[in-house]
Structures are given as C-alpha cells and as structure tokens.
Structure 1
Amino acid sequence: MEYKDPWIRPLRGAGAPRARVLFFPHAGGTAAFYAPFARRFPEGYDVAAVQYPGRQERMGEPFVTTVEGLADRLVPSLRRRAAEPVPLVLVGHSMGASVAFESMLRLGRDRLTAHCRLVVSGRTAPSVPRVIPAPDSDQEILDHLAGLGGTDPAVVRDPDLMDLFLPVLRNDYRAVARYRPVPGAAVDTPVLCLTGDRDPQVAPEEAAAWKRHTTAGFRLEVLPGEHFYLMDHQDTVVRLVVGSAGVGGR
C-alpha cells in the first residue's frame, strides 16, 4: 500500500484533531508496532507512526544509516504538522527516542515547537556517557534481541522472515552505534520520560538524566517491566501520552 507521505503511516484519523501523536519505532521496528496503541486513544486524537525506509511498504528503498540522517529526512514531513495550532506529541521508544529527540531539535531551530511535546521511552539521556559497539555478527544481534524480549521467538526461528528482518536490524544497530548526541543539547518543549524498572539497557538515573535536555517541564514515569515494558502497559502508556498533550481525557 502507498501512503500520501511515505514517512508517516496513519493509524487513527480525526477530522478536526484536538492533538496529533506521532510514534517513532525502535531499532528493527515498523510503524505497525504502534497500531494496538492507536486504538486506545480518545476520540479526537490523530495518531500516526513513522515508517523508516527499507521495511514493509518501503522495502525497496535504501536504508538511512544514521540517527541524525533519519531526523534530517523526517523534518520536512513534520514541519506542516508542527505549524498547526494543535499539540503535536512525538513519542519515541529506544532508537526511536533518539530520532524523535533529534527531530525536535531541528524543529526548534525552525521555531516550530510552540505546540510540540516530546515523550522518550526506553532510552538513556544523551548526556549519559555510553559507547555502544556495532554488532560483530548476526548472532550477536539475535542474542541481544532475545535479551530484550521484544521479538516473537517464532520470527527468529523462521529463516525466511529473518532474511527480511536481519538487514533492517544490521542497519539500525549500526545507526545506534554511530550516534553521537551533543551532550548539552536541549529541546524547548516539555519532556515525558518513560522507562521500565527492570530495563537492562536503562538504569533509572540514566532515564532521569533526560531532565537536563529540556528547558521546559520534565516528568519521569517508571513502569513495571523490562525494555519492552510498554507492550504490557498499553493503556497506561496511552494515558500518559494523552496527559502530556495537555488537552483533556476521553
């Protein structure tokens, strides 16, 4: 299926939206991951997700090999939404948090963040020193995925699916390894940080350090679970995202 904007896949429309929510997937993830979340939003919320090149309906397109490059390519699709007089909430999980943060920095340079909010999930703050090595082998990638618990084991066991899945993972893992955020960079929008209390990749203090990266309000919410805690708390995640938009409930 082709979409009007290949970067943005609509998940739930609203004729005259009270707010727009845009999800940014994790490494190896797709826009479809957020379809169950979209169904849980109140009426009046326009919900969509970013679709990175090289997967699903964009399978034939070349990968973007850096987090910064993804943000650069996305910003033209975000400018119109950011300019509207309704809240725009960018929600990124794991790698997606970095892409959303970089995208918000770019919107800020364009002075388009007056109605924007940022929600980061499952990611250490840019100011937390961390060197992430690029994976040496496909098996290392698969072992890492197994440790995070976010991939159906049946996918890993299916060689045909892995033939499609592994090139995406290789690209995204290398993009994460190459990412060098500016330690002092800050957005001028409120930031909500979500994290799992047993996430092997993000310690609570590493999540709390996102407070250094906004000149507006900050809130930290710790939920039970590991890296993909959000799959077990979809209603709670949606409630918190709706609260961050600041336009009321259901």
Structure 2
Amino acid sequence: MMPGGMLRAIVEAPDAALHVVMCPFAGGSGGAFRGWHGIGDPGLNVSLAIYPGRDHRMREACAADIGTLAAQLVEALAAAGIAPEQALLAGHSMGAQVAFEVCALLERQGESPAGLVLSGCHAPHLRGRRRLSALDDTAFLTQLVDIGGCSPELLSDPALLALFLPMLRADLRATETYHRPCPPDSQRLRTPALLIHGSNDEEADRSEVAEWTHWLRDAQGPVAIAGDHFYATRRPRAFLGHIARRFEFHSTGIDAR
C-alpha cells in the first residue's frame, strides 16, 4: 500500500518518469485489476485508486458523489508524493468522471498533470444508457449481471449481497447524478488527453466517448480496444500501450494491439 491510503501500487517501475493513477468503474476494487499485476515492465508506475466502502476501506462510508471521490484523490496524490506533472490521471466508466474532476481540481490550483485518460464513459452533458440506482434490488442486480459488472453467484448469496449491495448502489448513484451542460471554450481543460472506447461496448460507444472533446482543448481519439465494457481490466497491455503512444514515453513489454 502506498502512503496516502487511497492508492494501491499495482505496477511498479522504479525508474519510470510517469505514474498512471487509475480510477476504477462503479463497484470496482483491487480484485477487478488482478490482471494488471505481473504484466512486465511497462515503463511507468501504475497505482489504483481504492474508493471508500471496499478493500481496506470497507468500513468507511461510500462517497455520495463524484466530487467527493475527486477531492479525496487529490489529497491522496499529495500524501503519496506523486507530483501532478508526473501523474497520468486515468479512469474507466465512472472512473473517467473521477479522473476528469481530479484534473479539473488540479488545474484550478495551478497544477498541470502530465495527462488525462478517459475510457468507456459518455461525456458529462450526456446521460448514461441505463438508470439503475432507483431499481429494486433484484432488478438492480440483474442489470449489473447483464452488463458484466458482477457475478451471477452474487444473486444467490445473501451474505455477499449484504456486504456489496450498499457499495454498488452508492457508486451507481454517484455516477448517474454526474451531469452538467457543456462548458464555454475558455473553461475546457488544457491537460493533454486520450479518449478510449471498447469496440463492442454497449454502455458507451465511440460517439458518446468522443463528446468529451467539448470539455478538452487537446484530446486525441477515441481509440478502440477490442472488447465489451470491461476491456480495461481484461486487456491491460492494450490499455497501457495506447497511453504509451499518446504520451510518448519509452515502454517495454506492452503494445496497443
């Protein structure tokens, strides 16, 4: 565990100049990113943001909104000694909203992150395709299983349901209430950005991800990674390979195929 409590190192490269700070999707925890461990030396460090209500933060109350998570992560970066100019803020699905808000907070403080990676998420002025947080428990969990966001076994395990359902509901409320009109050009973020989408993602397609360009002054993409909504956890080499290409650092052992 890194200093700061919210960050967990999942890829370590001692001589790397840049540090990817990965913000996971709704319901995401360290277990979902097991596939990122042991991928070799990608030429950069990678840390995972652990939101309250899961992993070692299980006893903490879940965050009610995206802004709260972003503020916590800004504090965690400082506590971990990760300078903004070394940080590549990355997020998938709900995590893209968190990463964007972290970047906005840092820019308002006069800081300049190394980059911003927004993956598998519609832009803030759009609405998500599904509205889950108001559904009853059965319908809520059935929809999550359909998306691929939780195991079907969860439906038949009351103990697991009692443990994870409050966290899942809190995350979905936070992401579904994150909505705002497009900003004027003068308020678009200046941090260089990369947009990513899944080739078969039924939750956020290429056009919905591309709408983030209204919020950014310097955006490339969207670039595609093969897969459904959870390509980020299933294809970490491709994910990091696209980051390497966009931000032009030396990397070994990864590519964007």
Q: Offset at 1:178?
A: 2.0
Q: Quick one: which of 106, 111, 116 aligns to 1:118?
A: 116
* Distance apart, 1:132 and its partner CA: 6.2
Q: Deviations over 1:44-73 (max 9, x none)?
A: 421110001111111111111101111122
Matched-pair contact (CA < 8 Å) for 1:138–1:170: no
Distance in 2 between the 1:43 and 1:193 partners? 20
Say whether 1:75 aligns with 2:74. Answer: yes
Measure how far apart 1:229 and its partner are: 2.6
Q: Which whole-Å CA distance do the structure 1 matches of 2:108 and 2:136 have between them?
A: 38
Q: Is the counterpart of residue 97 in structure 1 residue 96 in structure 2?
A: yes
- Identify if the C-alpha distance between structure 1 residues 109 and 100 changes in structure 2 by more than 3 Å, giving closer, same or farther: same
Deviation at 1:20, TM superposition (A): 0.5
Unaligned runs of 5+ in 1: none
Q: Who is 1:225 aligned against?
A: 227
Structure 1 pair 117/35, CA: closer, same or farther in 2 (3 Å)? farther
After TM superposition, give the deviation of residue 166 of structure 1 in Å: 0.7
Partners of 2:115 and 2:156 lie apart in 1 by 39
Give 1:43 shift: 5.1
Amino acid at match of 1:81: I
RMSD of aligned residue pairs (Cα, Å)? 2.2
1:144 aligned residue: 143
- 1:156 deviates by 3.8
Q: How far is the alpha carbon of 1:13 from its aligned partner?
A: 2.7
How do 1:29-44 residues align onto structure 2 when only pairs under 5 Å count?
29-40=28-39, 42=41, 44=43
Task: Tell me the distance in 1 between the aligned counterparts of 2:244 and 2:159.
Answer: 38
Moved more, 240-249 or 93-102: 240-249
Local SS of the residue matching 1:163: helix
Aligned positions of 1:1-250 closer than 5 A? 4-40=3-39, 42=41, 44-79=43-78, 80-83=81-84, 86=86, 88-113=87-112, 115-129=113-127, 133=131, 134-184=133-183, 186-250=188-252
Go from structure 1 to structure 2 and tell me whether the alpha carbon gap of 1:188 and 1:195 turns closer, same or farther (over 3 Å shift): same
Contact 2:88 2:116 in 1 (8 A): yes
1:41 CA drift (Å): 5.4
8 Å contact from structure 1 (residues 7, 50) kept in 2: yes
1:218, CA displacement in angstroms?
Answer: 1.9
SS of the aligned residue for 1:243 comes to: helix
How far off is 1:130 after superposition? 5.2
- 1:82·1:116 contact (CA, 8 Å) conserved in 2? no
The one-letter code of the counterpart of 1:63 is C
Deviation string for 1:26-48 (max 9, x for gaps)? 11111332242243253542111
Quick check: 2:196–2:225 contact (8 Å CA) kept in 1?
yes
CA drift of 1:182 comes to 4.8
Whether the aligned pair in 2 keeps the contact of 1:132 and 1:176 (CA below 8 Å) is no
TM-score (norm 2): 0.86
Q: Count residues in correspondence.
A: 246
Give the whole-Å Cα distance in 2 for the aligned partners of 1:28 and 1:129: 19
Greater mean alpha carbon deviation, residues 152-161 or residues 27-36: 152-161
Identity %: 30
Q: Is the 8 A contact 2:123 2:209 kept in 1?
A: yes
- Quote the Cα distance in structure 2 between the aligned partners of 1:3 and 1:231: 21
Deviations 1:63-107 (CA, angstroms, capped at 9, x unpaired): 1110111112221222442345x3x21111111110111111001
Residue equivalent to 2:255: none
Partner Cα separation in structure 2 for residue 25 and residue 52 of structure 1? 9
Q: Is the 8 A contact 2:225 2:231 kept in 1?
A: yes
Contact kept, 8 Å, 1:124 with 1:206, in 2: the verdict is yes
- The residue identity in structure 2 corresponding to 1:82 is A
